């Protein structure tokens, strides 16, 4: 007599795509999840977006137009009409702060992107090729590292004119060296790894190996450098503008606002010096916290 066969239990029905069994930590969902768990970075992103929207949307948000002077309302304290008061020319200080943020943030972002692009390309080329290209690129980087950026920027602005484009070009030409050295060191570590050797075996060209296999492993370093470059560029531009060599009227930045308010120290309007200084401080802090969070999200092994 044959034994009855056991009935096979029906498989459960899944409504939607099957789960990912591999749990790839490099997937976009995993990166987003790690970033959202970094509360300080998320809060910094919100603050930075708020600063960016308020600054670049100043034409719609600012209560008064740019550089609108009213000498009859000069040097007024904060009130319902002027939330941060007015300066010596009767300009609404909140409006001037928002418009000045456009230039400061644009300079910081422009320097960060250009310097990171040049530095990443130079560092990857030096680390992957080695030999005399490595020596030439690194010696040039060493030469730029010993140059005082504030002095070079001040002299360049005196000779070429105090334009935002000059500031971006000069600071980018000085700021690519740090990321180049970091990228070079990391590429030297990675170029002898098994996945790079396997790419060479299957016939991948040098540029393809660098772009498809090496640079994705440098994403955390690149993101951190962008954040640090933004903060550094804003500070250097503010320093040079405070010394009187930077942005000139009618244009204004947070650094030039510090210069104009420096003479108010010890008076009842000394708070006008603290407002742009606080804007610079907050921007630098949130950019650094955001870079830290993105680095942890993109490179969880480095965090551990």
Q: Give residue-wise pLDDT tens across range 24-52.
A: 566 678 888 888 888 898 999 999 999 99
Looking up residue 116, the CATH number of its domain turns out to be 1.10.3720.10
Roughly what angle, to the nearest 10 degrees, separates helices 93-129 and 39-56?
120
Omega prior to 250 cis, within 30 of 0: yes
pLDDT category of residue 23 using cuts at 50, 70 and 90? low
Inside any domain, residue 70? no
Residue 167 covered by a domain: yes
> 222 pLDDT exceeds 60?
yes
Split at pLDDT 50, 70, 90, the class of 7 is: very low
Q: Is the pLDDT of residue 6 over 50?
A: no
Q: Is 22 inside any structural domain?
A: no
Average pLDDT value for residue range 194-208: 79
Q: What is the pLDDT of residue 24?
A: 59
What crossing angle do the helices spanning 164-190 and 219-242 adopt, rounded to 10°? 150
Please give the torsion angle defined by the CA atoms of residues 106, 108, 114 and 117, in that order, rounded to the nearest 10 degrees. Answer: -130
Number of structural domains in the chain: 1
CA distance 232 to 103: 15
What is the Cα–Cα distance from 249 to 260, expressed in whole angstroms?
A: 10
Angle ∠(100,178,134) on CA atoms, nearest 5 = 140
Region 102-119 average pLDDT: 91
pLDDT surpassing 80 at residue 22: no
Considering the domain boundaries, does residue 71 fall inside one?
no
Range of the domain at 197: 28-60+88-303
pLDDT of 3 > 70? The answer is no
| C-beta of residue 283 within 8 angstroms of C-beta of residue 231 | yes
Is 0.75 surpassed by the pTM of this model? yes
Is residue 15, in this structure, part of any structural domain at all? Answer: no
Residue 14 lies in a domain: no
Residue 16 domain flag: no
Residue 93: inside a domain: yes
Burial of 96 (0-12, 13-18, 19+ CB in 10 A): buried
Instruction: Please list the residues that pair with 92 across neighbouring strands.
Output: 86
């Amino acid at each position: 007599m044959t034994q009855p066969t056991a009935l096979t239990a029906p498989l459960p029905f899944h409504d939607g795509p099957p789960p990912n069994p591999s749990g790839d930590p490099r997937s976009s969902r995993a990166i987003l999840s790690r970033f959202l768990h970094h509360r300080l970075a998320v809060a910094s992103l919100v603050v930075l977006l708020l600063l960016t929207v308020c600054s670049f949307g100043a034409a719609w948000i600012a209560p008064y137009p740019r550089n609108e002077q009213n000498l009859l309302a000069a040097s007024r304290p904060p009130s319902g009409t002027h939330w941060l008061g007015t300066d010596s020319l009767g300009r609404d200080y909140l409006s001037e702060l928002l418009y000045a943020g456009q230039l400061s943030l644009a300079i910081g972002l422009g320097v960060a992107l250009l310097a990171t692009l040049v530095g990443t390309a130079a560092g990857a080329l030096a680390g992957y090729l080695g030999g005399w290209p490595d020596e030439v690129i690194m010696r040039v980087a060493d030469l730029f590292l010993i140059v005082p950026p504030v002095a070079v920027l001040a002299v360049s602005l005196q000779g070429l004119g105090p334009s935002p484009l000059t500031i971006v070009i000069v600071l980018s030409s000085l700021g690519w060296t740090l990321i180049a050295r970091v990228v070079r060191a990391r590429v030297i570590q990675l170029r002898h790894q098994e996945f790079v050797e396997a790419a060479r075996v299957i016939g991948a060209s040098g540029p393809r190996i660098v772009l498809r296999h090496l640079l994705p492993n440098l994403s955390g370093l690149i993101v951190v450098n962008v954040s640090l470059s933004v903060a550094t560029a804003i500070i250097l531009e503010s320093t040079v503008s405070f010394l009187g060599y930077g942005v000139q009227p009618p244009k204004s930045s947070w650094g030039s606002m510090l210069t104009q308010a420096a003479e108010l120290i010890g008076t009842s309007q000394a708070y006008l010096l603290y407002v742009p200084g606080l804007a610079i401080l907050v921007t630098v802090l949130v950019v650094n916290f955001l870079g830290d969070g993105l680095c942890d999200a993109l490179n969880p092994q480095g965090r551990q």
